[in-house]
Structure 1
Amino acid sequence: MKTVPLGELIKLQSGFAFRSADYVKKGHFLVRISNVQQNQISLTSPKYVALDDKTRKFALNEGDILTSLTGNVGRVAKVDEANLPAALNQRVARITVASDKLDPCFLYQFCSSAAFRDALSRQGHGAAQKNVSPKQIEEIRIPVPSLAKQKQIVAFLDKALAGIGTVVANAEKNLANAQELFDVELRRAFDSLADSCNQLTLAEAAIDFGRGKSKHRPRNDPKLYGGRYPFVQTGDVRNSNHILRSYSQSYNDNGLAQSKLWPKGTLCVTIAANIAETAVLDFEACFPDSIIGIVVDDRLTTEFYVEYLLQSLKSTLQSKGKGSAQANINLATFANERFPFPSLEKQREITDHLDKMSKNISLLKANYSMKIDELNVMRECILHSAFSAHLINAQGK
């Protein structure tokens, strides 16, 4: 099957370097790298700009194909009516058809394939994160059967991928429902306590309660790192599942000297960026002041009871952190807040019940996630077949 460089068939445009000072409350939705997810444009953390004569050419149209040029390069999404009005930001490229030999839907399916992403990934350069240029996209070769065959392939893909999309959507809904089921039970467990037991502040229920320490500036000074003392960050807490068993960095003796080593069993609570994420340390560790450490008084409570308690209040705590450039809460958020602390026997009853439910929900979520992964692999296999000579020839028969 004949292949040609994409540059012979497409028009490619890089986005404009809008500044944060250009953001407005209402205007064109600015499509940034983070908004370009595979096969969809995410509306998370939307920013808006007003276009003028200089930037009007960066206004997007329905059907435009977008791809990321930095980081996780090669993610592809199509602009639909719901995204408009929208504008193209830097490090995002717009791909449009510039030849009557290429069907726009065929182009989109090709750009959505692993073949396109892998080709870009191989060409990406940069140590910290990959970058690709418009020219490198133009050099990628695309199979070009006749327009009739292209339309046949698109029809085949639309039918096959629509079915997979429906099953994936159902699995994702079930995944969300499983988490919601646990969240409802979590809130119910603590709402039922109400005022029927002792009410304590977190400081009153702990023998040590405070923020982590990382006094040295700059914080990323290499002379602090690479030793035997685990250094836990907010992302580590967020990515754990109740118990924090791994970490991404470590301090040496210099790092420890300007920080604090918290004991195994410390409950970590994030208060900046990733607000109200919680985990119990499975080892001694240091952490920065974006994490609160709670070493519970075991005469009054357990770290696992308090962890579940704070998880039941997660949405409330997160709402208190909104309003600044980076969401955050602090020790004062907890200073006067009183929480229910029933007898230790009742606390164990609650945590045992939630542990069992959490385990069952985790199994459900793992099954749904595996199903979604398998369906995505199937989707990639279908796309791969679609752009191989085998299927192109088969569709032509």
Structure 2
Amino acid sequence: MRAAWQSKKVSEIAECSLGKMLDKAKNKGEPRPYLRNLNVRWFDFDLSNLLEMRFLPEEAAKYRVAKGDLVICEGGYPGRAAIWDRDEPIYFQKALHRVRFHQPENAKWCLYYLHAQNLDGTLKSHFNGAGIQHFTGEALSRFQIPIPPLPEQQRIVDILDKAFDGIAIVKINVEKNLQNARALFESHLQTVFTQRSEDWVEKRLEQIGTTQTGSTPKTAVRTNYGTFIPFVKPADFNKDGSLVYENAGLSEKGLEGARKVTAGSVLMVCIGATIGKCGYCDRDITTNQQINALTPSEGISHKFVYYQMLSGNFQQRVLGKSGQATLPIINKSKWSALTVVLPPNVEEQTRIVGQLDALVGEIQRLESSYQQRLVALDTLKKSLLHQAFSGQL
């Protein structure tokens, strides 16, 4: 911070207030759209899921967010903030702070400072609560901001605006390239299994191997658990289909009350939010009851079946058989009756698997490169913000 700059509490340069509390007993007046912390993103608002709440005329005046107001999350995502830049007013609830600056130009400067503090991890020191954290009104009022003279402040904000706009464009392009790479793989996968030769045959899973559902030995019996054999759960599936084997395991005694899945089997999560997630094992394992497994018969490539289970067509059939309940589930009998298509010999399966493995490897290389670029962009943002608030810009 330069010598000409002053350190000011937010309460010295702005008026802060929390929004209206949700209270059915006080739910009177005209319905109006209001902001929740879910609607607030850094530098922007997501208005796709706005809710309405009733406001009496005096409440509407009190809880109105006007153009130029800074909105900061009190809870949920404490500290996350954006400036309301629309002409039409909106309203806000108690999980948000409205900060109205005496000099409106300070809003953008404060927003950048909050973001800088968030990126370097120092903002959370102003939150309270061991579990669910809050950026209380008292803490916000005490929050210190370095304030340069207004012309210098505007000059630095202009530099940051241009730099952040450029970073945002590059980031959008990188993320679009990531999406395109994944879409290319999914398209190729779909083509392989739909535009097939006439000599391919359709078989139910239960016709090409042994299917089974996992089980969980009694957790109260601690001797059931150990390191004799991996115990796999849905969270242990990697994006590339490989598995994490080190997170949990069973003892020899625990294996007696479980079901062993032999190396070279294909697995699928068959219940819950991640239904359809696929993987394969390169060693003997056990799984919990959320996972179904297929151990293919001789002459069937497990990787060929795995890739087919990843295809959009197979995934749609899994969802179609899972019912419309809040908790989707496909039982073992329905899952075992799902069909896959197979070339007449394992050599053709292996050839196709080799092509798909090569494509996956290329996509992983691209994803790694793109992720490195995204990390570099975030590092650049941190560097720019550090320079801005240390007086180096």
In the alignment, which residue of structure 2 is the partner of 1:275? 275
Q: Structure 1's 116 and 336: CA in aligned 2 closer, same or farther, altered over 3 A?
A: closer
Paired residues for 1:205-284 under 5 Å: 205-207=208-210, 209-214=211-216, 216=218, 223=222, 227-228=226-227, 229-237=229-237, 239-251=238-250, 259-271=258-270, 272-284=272-284
Correspondence for 1:156 among 156, 159, 171: 159
In the alignment, which residue of structure 2 is the partner of 1:310? 309
Q: 1:167-214 CA distances to partner (integer Å, 9 max, x unpaired)?
A: 11111111111111111111111112276412111122222x122223
Q: Structure 1's 77 and 231: CA in aligned 2 closer, same or farther, altered over 3 A?
A: farther
Contact in 1 for aligned 2:70/2:107 (Cα 8 Å) = no
The 10-residue stretch of structure 1 (281-290 or 358-367) with the greater mean CA deviation from structure 2: 281-290
Cα separation, 2, equivalents of 1:277 and 1:362: 18
In the alignment, which residue of structure 2 is the partner of 1:350? 352
Aligned length: 373
Question: How far apart are residue 242 of structure 1 and its match?
Answer: 2.0
What amino acid is aligned across from residue 8 of structure 2 in structure 1? V
In the alignment, which residue of structure 2 is the partner of 1:363? 365
Asked if residue 65 in structure 1 is aligned to residue 68 in structure 2, the reply is: no
Aligned Cα root-mean-square deviation (Å): 3.9
Q: Classify the secondary structure of the residue corresponding to 1:390.
A: coil
The 10-residue stretch of structure 1 (288-297 or 79-88) with the greater mean CA deviation from structure 2: 79-88
State the percentage of identical aligned residues: 20
Q: Structure 1's 111 and 288: CA in aligned 2 closer, same or farther, altered over 3 A?
A: same
Q: Classify the secondary structure of the residue corresponding to 1:121.
A: helix
Question: How far apart are residue 142 of structure 1 and its match?
Answer: 1.1
Question: How far apart are residue 231 of structure 1 and its match?
Answer: 3.3
What amino acid is aligned across from residue 158 of structure 2 in structure 1? A
Contact in 2 for aligned 1:195/1:340 (Cα 8 Å) = no
In the alignment, which residue of structure 1 is the partner of 2:195? 192
Give unpaired runs (5+ residues) of structure 2. Answer: none
Question: How far apart are residue 162 of structure 1 and its match?
Answer: 1.0
In the alignment, which residue of structure 2 is the partner of 1:132? 134
Cα separation, 2, equivalents of 1:281 and 1:82: 57
In the alignment, which residue of structure 1 is the partner of 2:342? 341
Q: Classify the secondary structure of the residue corresponding to 2:230.
A: strand
Question: How far apart are residue 352 of structure 1 and its match?
Answer: 0.5
Cα separation, 1, equivalents of 2:234 and 2:89: 35
Cα separation, 2, equivalents of 1:319 and 1:61: 45
Contact in 2 for aligned 1:224/1:253 (Cα 8 Å) = no
Q: 1:16-60 CA distances to partner (integer Å, 9 max, x unpaired)?
A: 5699xx9xxx99587455x655555568xx766441248977776
Cα separation, 1, equivalents of 2:146 and 2:307: 55
Contact in 1 for aligned 2:217/2:224 (Cα 8 Å) = no
Contact in 1 for aligned 2:33/2:53 (Cα 8 Å) = yes
What amino acid is aligned across from residue 268 of structure 1 in structure 2? L
TM-score normalised by L of structure 2: 0.78
Give unpaired runs (5+ residues) of structure 1. Answer: 392-397
Contact in 1 for aligned 2:73/2:135 (Cα 8 Å) = no
In the alignment, which residue of structure 1 is the partner of 2:204? 201
